[in-house]
Amino acid sequence: MKLRRTLLAVGAIAAASALGLSGCSSGGDAGGGGGKTVEILGGFTDAQATAFQADLDKWSETSGITATYTGTGDFQTAVVTRVTAGDPPDIAIYPQPGVLKQQTSSLLALDDLVDVPAITADEAQGLPDIAKVDGKTYGLPYSVNVKSLVWYNPAAFAKAGYTVPTTDAEMMALTDKIKADGAGYPWCVGIESGSATGWGATDWLEEYVLRYGGLDTYNDWITHKVKFDSDVVKKAGEKFADIALTDGNVNGGGPAIATTNFGTAGNQLFVDGKSNGQCFMMRQGTFIADFFPDTIKAEIAAADYSNVDVFPLPTPTGATTGALGGGDLVGAFTNDDSTKKVLDYLVGPDFGTNGYASQAIFLSPHGDFDTSLYQSKFQTAAADVVAKAEVFGFDASDQMPGAVGSGTEWTNLTEWVTGQKTLDEALKDIDSSWPAQ
Percent of residues, the chain, with pLDDT higher than 90: 87
Mean pLDDT estimate for the chain = 92
Domain assignment of residue 437, yes or no: no
Domain assignment of residue 19, yes or no: yes
- In whole angstroms, what separates CA 436 from the centre of its chain? 27
The band of 30, judged by pLDDT with boundaries at 50, 70 and 90, is very low
Domain assignment of residue 210, yes or no: yes
CATH number for the domain that contains residue 411: 3.40.190.10
Q: Which residues pair with 328 in a beta bridge?
A: 143
Same domain, 238 and 340: no
Q: Are 327 and 365 in contact (CB under 8 A)?
A: yes
Domain assignment of residue 204, yes or no: yes
The band of 98, judged by pLDDT with boundaries at 50, 70 and 90, is confident
Same domain, 135 and 167: no
Query: pLDDT tens digit string along 249-260?
Result: 999 999 999 999
| Cα–Cα dist 136/134, whole Å | 6
Same domain, 163 and 266: yes
Taking 90 as the threshold, does the pLDDT of residue 34 lie above it? no
The band of 6, judged by pLDDT with boundaries at 50, 70 and 90, is very low
Q: What is the torsion angle, in degrees rounded to the nearest 10, for the CA atoms of residue 5, residue 251, residue 273 and residue 193?
A: 20
What is the residue range of 254's domain? Answer: 149-322+400-432
Q: For position 228, what pLDDT does the model report? A: 98
Same domain, 174 and 135: no
Q: For position 2, what pLDDT does the model report? A: 58
Same domain, 238 and 338: no
Same domain, 29 and 103: yes
Q: Give the least confident one: 28-37, 97-106, 256-265, 389-398.
A: 28-37
Taking 60 as the threshold, does the pLDDT of residue 29 lie above it? no
Same domain, 242 and 292: yes
Same domain, 8 and 77: yes
Q: For position 33, what pLDDT does the model report? A: 42
The candidate with the shortest Cα–Cα distance to 260, out of 233, 284, 232, 235, is: 284
Domain assignment of residue 357, yes or no: yes
Same domain, 142 and 9: yes
Q: How many domains in the chain?
A: 2
Domain assignment of residue 251, yes or no: yes
Return the exposure string of 275-307: e unless at least 16 CB atoms fall within 10 Å of the residue's CB, then b.
Answer: eeebbbbbbbbbbbbebbeeebeebbeeeeeeb
Four-residue CA torsion sign, 381, 147, 54, 40 = positive
Q: Are 53 and 69 in contact (CB under 8 A)?
A: yes
Same domain, 18 and 64: yes
Same domain, 239 and 119: no
Same domain, 292 and 341: no
